[in-house]
Amino acid sequence: MRVKDVVLSWMAFPETLSLSIRQQALIEIERRAFAGVAAYPASWIIVCYAENLYHAAPLPSLAVTGWFLVIFAARLALHLKYERQVLRQIETARLAFLLLLAPGPISLGALSALSLSTDWLYPAHDSLILITAVLCAAATLNLCVDRIARILIPVLTVVPPAIFLALAPDDESPTILPLAAIFVTYLIVSSENISRDYWTLAEARQRIQDQADSNRVLSVTDHLTSIPNRLYFYQLFAEKCKAAAEAQSCFAVLLLDIDHFKQINDGLGHAAGDACLIALGAFLNRLLSPACHLFARYGGEEFIVAAQVKDAGDVARIAHEICEGISMLRVPFDDQLLNFTCSVGYTLLTPPIAEDYPDRVIASADRALYEAKRAGRNTVRGVAWQ
């Protein structure tokens, strides 16, 4: 495994979560982080004024102010296009976020460390230690759901001054060092607990979402043939009709019904009838495309199709294709091959099309189907919509 892969896998959010939940979490974490970004330059500017640093040491004070403003500007630039970046490439977006998260805490930690030994910063020593501790705690808790951020922030902020104190001890070192250790440990442990709760909730949300998605699919799928059911058809019929009206296109509704299906059931049993229905569903799946045709099992041994068509010839062609295709099916059942026929009735709407009459349109196709049955079955009949 390459180093990059190891880093990326360590950085990754729990893999069990769907991509959309991980993306959502990352966008939320970045938004939270951005809300605190202005605190770094603002705190530094206040310390400079309060401790008179702009007068005492204008150049270094202004340089540090400029540095905090550059970090702020870089974060603003990232923030403005972050959502798009996360949706495009989640790992790179996360890496960019972490890289731009680090300079603020590192700079504050370094300033606190320097204030212990640098003359121009020494008057601001207490204020810097205070804002370093406060911003470190606030940022760690704010971003604790990100396991890297919650370790990175306290380590980058508190470790540099602590190392400095350890290497060049002064009177305060014996007090400050153990306090810093307790502070960082407590921060990391408590933020770990908050993070665990967040991800447990995210996982629960994901399970509910998956269940809802699967229930939604089940509620509009016919359990026997696995093609859409009548509910699905009605949900989308008005939409398809409207699209045809807007496109000024012809619109056709076809009803097909297996001929003498009762005889198959009575003669060979319901399992044989079921095998024929499953084969018919698979045939429609092969012949029609969900992008162009709305089709469903309408009920029992009846199926329905709705689609935009070019003209009367186009719908007649589809109806014949269905009728002939079904008559050629051979359905394996026990040790025999079953075949059956169907009758097709259709109605054709020509522009201008109104959109509020699905039942009347279907009733019209049903009349055509009745005519096909009366004409001897295994045939096609169409009626024009008036």
Ligand X SMILES: Nc1nc2c(ncn2[C@@H]2O[C@H](COP(=O)(O)OP(=O)(O)OP(=O)(O)O)[C@@H](O)[C@H]2O)c(=O)[nH]1
CB 152 within 8 A of CB 98: yes
Work out how close the CB of 277 gets to ligand X at its nearest, in angstroms, rounded to a whole number.
6
User: Which of the residues 263 through 282 are near ligand X (CB under 6 A)?
Assistant: 265, 270, 273-274, 277
- Of these, 34, 67, 198, 261, which contacts ligand X (CB under 6 A)? 261
Cα separations in angstroms, 54 against 69, 91, 123, 125, 156: 16, 41, 12, 15, 26
Cα gap 296→231, rounded to integer Å: 9
Q: In terms of CB distance, is 352 or 376 closer to ligand X?
A: 376
Cα gap 156→110, rounded to integer Å: 9
**221 is an interface residue for ligand X by CB under 6 A:** no
Q: In terms of CB distance, is 112 or 229 closer to ligand X?
A: 229
Q: In terms of CB distance, is 317 or 373 closer to ligand X?
A: 373
Work out how close the CB of 149 gets to ligand X at its nearest, in angstroms, rounded to a whole number.
56
Cα gap 333→275, rounded to integer Å: 7
**51 is an interface residue for ligand X by CB under 6 A:** no
Stretch that binds ligand X, among 56-64, 167-175, 257-265, 318-326 (CB under 6 A): 257-265
Cα gap 374→369, rounded to integer Å: 9
Q: In terms of CB distance, is 187 or 369 closer to ligand X?
A: 369
Q: In terms of CB distance, is 181 or 224 closer to ligand X?
A: 224
**301 is an interface residue for ligand X by CB under 6 A:** yes
The count of chain residues that interact with ligand X, using the rule CB under 6 A, is 16
**374 is an interface residue for ligand X by CB under 6 A:** no
Q: In terms of CB distance, is 154 or 273 closer to ligand X?
A: 273
**258 is an interface residue for ligand X by CB under 6 A:** yes
Cα gap 161→152, rounded to integer Å: 15
Q: What angle do CA 37, 23, 136 make, to 5 degrees?
A: 30
**30 is an interface residue for ligand X by CB under 6 A:** no
- Of these, 194, 224, 292, 337, which contacts ligand X (CB under 6 A)? 224
**122 is an interface residue for ligand X by CB under 6 A:** no
Stretch that binds ligand X, among 67-75, 164-172, 208-216, 251-259 (CB under 6 A): 251-259
Work out how close the CB of 272 gets to ligand X at its nearest, in angstroms, rounded to a whole number.
7
Work out how close the CB of 218 gets to ligand X at its nearest, in angstroms, rounded to a whole number.
17
Stretch that binds ligand X, among 135-143, 147-155, 262-270, 310-318 (CB under 6 A): 262-270
CB 347 within 8 A of CB 385: yes
**260 is an interface residue for ligand X by CB under 6 A:** yes
Residue nearest to ligand X (CB): 273
Residues 307-336, one symbol each (x = binds ligand X by CB under 6 A, - = not), give: ------------------------------
Interface ranges with ligand X (CB under 6 A): 224, 257-262, 265, 270, 273-274, 277, 300-301, 373, 377
